[in-house]
Amino acid sequence: MRDTRESRLLLVLLIAIAFALITVDIRGGEDSPVDGARQAAATVFGPVENGVAAAVNPVGNAIGAVRDSGSRHTRIAALERENAELKQRLGSDARNRSQVRELDTMLQRAGAGQYGIKGAQVIAIGAAQGFSWTVTIDMGRNDGIARDMTVLNGDGLVGRVTTVGPNTATVLLANDPGFTVGTRMEGSDELGFATGQGDRPLSVQLLNGKAKIRNGDRLVTFGSSKDKPFVPGVPVGEVVRVDPSGGDLTRTLSVRPFVGFTKLDIVGVVVEAPREDPRDTVLPPKAKPVPTPTVTVTVTPSPDADLNADAGGNLDVNGNTAPVTGADPNANPNPNADANPNPDPDAAANADPGNAGNGNGQAADDQE
């Protein structure tokens, strides 16, 4: 259709008619004169509109979903990051608390023994040197760590430094089969040598084969010349088995180490030895034994006991033998009566045959 003057006048006329119909429809309300035409149009064009909507709505929804997917993914990613940060914060807080407790206990042990230590953290297990029980710590030569320094934690002896790098060091653990340390018994001062046995208790050879050792006795390090590789007084372990000496010059003990070698975290390297041997002062106080309750049973006589027992051995309240209730008063009360079973021949001769009764209770006939 070309843009002419007539077409413009027709468009204006159609617009005016449309406004007039709208005005009439609004003023008429439910009685609008165009209501019939509207229903007829709805009947004709309704199915067409539904079909078009069914075909177009999925496309529109897909377009909307694509448009909103970016913001949704961004929100989900932000929530996931917040959740991961919260979990990490909670985990790190628990770990920090555990490390603080370990560090506090270790500082108390070091203070009791007057050890100058530098704290380190275990960062790896095993080493290239081929030792079976070793760990790597995050301190080395640049931190003042040197070979053959004693390593401990809050529980006791961990091991000794064997290899030192610029920023790390290797520690040979006390339970390694190649590890040996001189020991001294608490209280008795008996000397020996402890050797690692992997995941089994330490084996200790006492120099005195006749030493009196009991389970529960504790050991500390004896110390080395010039305090290397071991300083004195570091707790080693507790005796769990004493092998019989059998007349040998030495005696073998099984000692459970205080340190858990499979769960090491914070350790301390002794960089300054104590001026004096702390002996047993670094050992924690022994746990007091729990007392065993003692139960005392008191027997109370029953008030219903018969005080008038029979003469078979029961006594009355005055300590005299009580007579048997219903017994023959003419019976001989003497318990030592003659128990001779032989009948008296005179008694049989003097018996009245006329008073003897047969088995049926009738009198027997007189014998002629």
Residues 36-53 have pLDDT tens digits of 665 565 565 556 555 655
Q: Using one digit for the tens of pLDDT, what is the confidence trace for 51-101? A: 655 655 555 555 555 555 566 667 777 777 877 776 666 566 677 788 888
pLDDT band with cut points at 50, 70 and 90 for residue 355 = very low
Residues 6+ apart with CB under 8 A from 28: 34, 35
pLDDT of residue 360: 43
pLDDT band with cut points at 50, 70 and 90 for residue 181 = very high
Decide which of 334 and 212 is more confident.
212
Residue for token pair 């003023």? 27
pLDDT of residue 84: 75
Q: Using one digit for the tens of pLDDT, what is the confidence trace for 92-151? A: 667 778 888 888 999 999 999 999 999 999 999 885 455 579 999 999 999 999 999 999
DSSP alpha helices (H): ranges in 147-255?
A: none
Give strand pairing partners of 192. Answer: 183, 206
pLDDT of residue 362: 42
Q: Is the pTM of this model over 0.85?
A: no
Distance (Å, rounded) from C-alpha 368 to C-alpha 359?
Answer: 21
Decide which of 247 and 16 is more confident.
16
Give the angle 277-279-284 at the CA atoms, nearest 5°.
Answer: 130
pLDDT of residue 254: 95
The percent of residues in the chain predicted with pLDDT above 90, rounded, is: 41
DSSP 227: G
pLDDT of residue 311: 45
pLDDT of residue 356: 40
Alpha-carbon Rg for the chain, nearest whole angstrom, is: 54
* Coil, helix or strand at residue 76: helix
Give the angle 268-183-228 at the CA atoms, nearest 5°.
Answer: 50
One-letter amino acid at 177 equals: P
DSSP 273: -
pLDDT of residue 364: 40
DSSP alpha helices (H): ranges in the chain?
A: 5-28, 35-113, 345-349
pLDDT of residue 327: 47
pLDDT band with cut points at 50, 70 and 90 for residue 34 = low
pLDDT of residue 288: 72
For 149-178, b/e burial (b = at least 16 CB within 10 A) is: bbbbbbbbbbbbbbbbeeebbbbbbbbbee
Q: Is the pLDDT of residue 299 over 80?
A: no
Q: Is the pLDDT of residue 339 over 50?
A: no
Annotate 114-137 with three-state secondary structure: CCEEEEEEEEEECCCCCCCCEEEE
Nearest partner of 234 among 130, 158, 288, 176, judged by Cα:
158
First to last CA, the chain: 180
pLDDT of residue 61: 58
Residue for token pair 């008038």? 308
Q: Are 174 and 180 in contact (CB under 8 A)?
A: no
pLDDT of residue 345: 46
